[in-house]
Amino acid sequence: MIKTLISSLCISFTLLLLFFIFHSSNVSNSDNLVQVNQQQTTQTNLDSGVINTHIAFPTFINAKPDATSDLTHLLSNVKLRALNRNKLKQALKANPEQLLDYIKNNPNIDEFEQRIILDVVYQFSDQYREQVGLEMMYAKNPIYRSAGYQLLASAGSEDETLTSYYIGLVTEASYTETDIDVLTDIMTIYHTQTISDEVKPKVISRLSPLLAHQNTNLQIEALKALLNVTDLVTSTPYIVENLAAQDTSKLAQTIDILYSISTPPAKLAEELEILSQSELSTPEIKQAALAVIQHWQR
């Protein structure tokens, strides 16, 4: 009986083992068949030019055009103070007339914008400087007018024979100028540029009333201009008059001017010596006068 039981168990175990082997073989064959089918399908799709996959294409948004991209109308789209100098230069090369339109349509500018205009327009031809300068000179805004005078005065850079002509234009136009700061800037033009003998008489005539002006800064700039266009014989009486002034600011600025004189007349040296020792002079004035005397003695 025991032998019969053992024999039955062996047969059952053998049958169970055969079942598992057969089932595993079917699963493996099934997986292989699926893999083969997938490879065949992929190859078929590739051969037919169809790729069965999902591709995410980017979505394009219509962006607003850059306002600075149109150089020919740049100043119509962008304020001057928002531009760098190189960009403005490129724009004016593309369309020089747009700056003239900007000046007409934008009456209010400040010194920052004025500086941008000057720095860029100085890089252009004398003809363009003249064109822009004349447009600005007759603007209502004194900041424009000041820049206009400066541009016009510099318009002889390519032909020195025209320098006198442009300085003459500046001088004639200055008689209608009423703004103190603009007049002061014009005086600065006179004492920083070389003034030809041809136009000197006009400039001296223009300076004469301003040498006695009540505004100290304007008067001092006029005196500097006089020193540039005349000799010391002509300038000394005005300097001596200023050295006798009770206005400390005028006195100090006049003393500073004397550094530009290499060989002073005896009268000026005498007046400065008096100032350096006078009990009426402030310590600052005494020190300033003594410094100029020592400068002359070197």
Residue identified by tokens 């720095």 is 119
**Residue 207 carries which side chain, given as an amino acid letter?**
L
In a domain, 31, yes or no: no
In a domain, 138, yes or no: yes
* Residue 17 in domain: no
* Complete DSSP assignment for 157-215: SS-GGGHHHHHHHHHHHHTT---HHHHHHHHHHHHHSPPPTTTHHHHHHHHGGGGG-S-
Asked if the model's pLDDT at residue 91 lies above 90, the reply is yes
The answer to whether 262 and 279 have CB atoms below 8 angstroms apart is no
| Domain assignment of residue 29, yes or no | no
Amino acid at 29: N
Low-confidence winner among 46-55, 76-85, 118-127, 261-270 (lowest mean pLDDT): 46-55
- The pLDDT of residue 160 is 78
Pairwise CA distance, residues 210 & 207, whole Å: 5
Domain that holds residue 180: 71-231
Asked if residue 157 and residue 246 are part of one domain, the reply reads no
In percent, how much of the chain has pLDDT > 70? 77
51: how many CB neighbours lie within 10 A of its CB?
Answer: 10
Rounded mean pLDDT, 161-179? 94
Domain assignment present for 107 = yes
Over residues 124-129, the mean pLDDT reads: 96
DSSP H/E element including 123 = none
> Based on the domain organization, do 250 and 217 belong to the same domain?
no
Domain match, 291 and 164 both = no
The CATH number given to whatever domain includes residue 248 is 1.25.10
Q: How many CB atoms lie within 10 A of CB 196?
A: 17
Residues 189 and 157 placed together within one structural domain of the fold: yes
**How confident is the model over 48-59, as pLDDT tens digits?**
444 444 555 454
Residues 112 and 81 occupy one common structural domain? yes
Could you tell me which residues come within 8 angstroms of residue 104 by beta carbon, excluding any fewer than 6 positions away? 135
> Are residues 78 and 176 located together in one domain of the fold?
yes
237 shares a domain with 227: no
Q: What is the pLDDT of residue 51?
A: 46
84: three-class secondary structure by DSSP: coil
Phi and psi at 176, nearest 5°, equal: -95, 0
Same domain, residue pair 216 and 75: yes
Contact between residue 150 and residue 189 where contact means Cβ atoms under 8 Å apart: yes
Domain count, the chain: 2
Q: Domain boundary residue among 231, 247, 263?
A: 231
Q: What is the pLDDT of residues 242-251, one digit of tens each?
A: 999 989 999 9
187 and 149 both lie in a single domain: yes
Q: Residue 46 above 90 pLDDT? A: no
**Number of C-beta neighbours around residue 76 at 10 A:** 13
Same domain, 225 and 104: yes
Other C-beta atoms closer than 10 Å to the C-beta of 132 total 25
> What is the pLDDT at residue 27?
40
Q: What is the pLDDT of residues 183-215, one digit of tens each?
A: 999 999 999 999 999 999 999 999 999 999 999
Residue 22 domain-assigned (yes or no)? no
Residue 12 falls within a domain, yes or no? no
pLDDT at 100: 97
Model pLDDT, residue 246? 87
Q: Which amino acid is at 246?
A: Q
Q: Where is the domain boundary, 231, 247, 282? A: 231
Compute the average pLDDT of residues 256-277.
Answer: 94
Per-residue pLDDT band for 141 (boundaries 50, 70, 90) equals very high
Q: Count Cα atoms within 13 angstroms, Cβ side, for 156.
A: 17
Residue 48 in any domain: the answer is no
pLDDT band at 159 (very low <50, low <70, confident <90, very high): confident
The total number of residues written for the chain in this structure: 298
Residue from 280, 288, 290 nearest 246 by CA: 280
SS3 content of the chain, % helix, strand, coil (to 5): 75, 0, 25
Same domain, 146 and 203: yes
Residue 86 burial class via C-beta count within 10 angstroms: exposed 0-12, middle 13-18, buried 19 and up: exposed
pLDDT at 239: 97
Residues 268 and 160 reside in one and the same domain: no
Res 157: pLDDT: 83
pLDDT of res. 70: 83
Backbone angles phi, psi at 138, to 5 degrees: -105, 15
pLDDT score at 65: 55
Cβ-proximal residues to 205 (8 Å cutoff; 6+ apart), any chain: none
Of the candidates 180, 199, 231, which is a domain's last residue?
231
Q: What is the pLDDT of residues 21-30, one digit of tens each?
A: 444 444 444 4
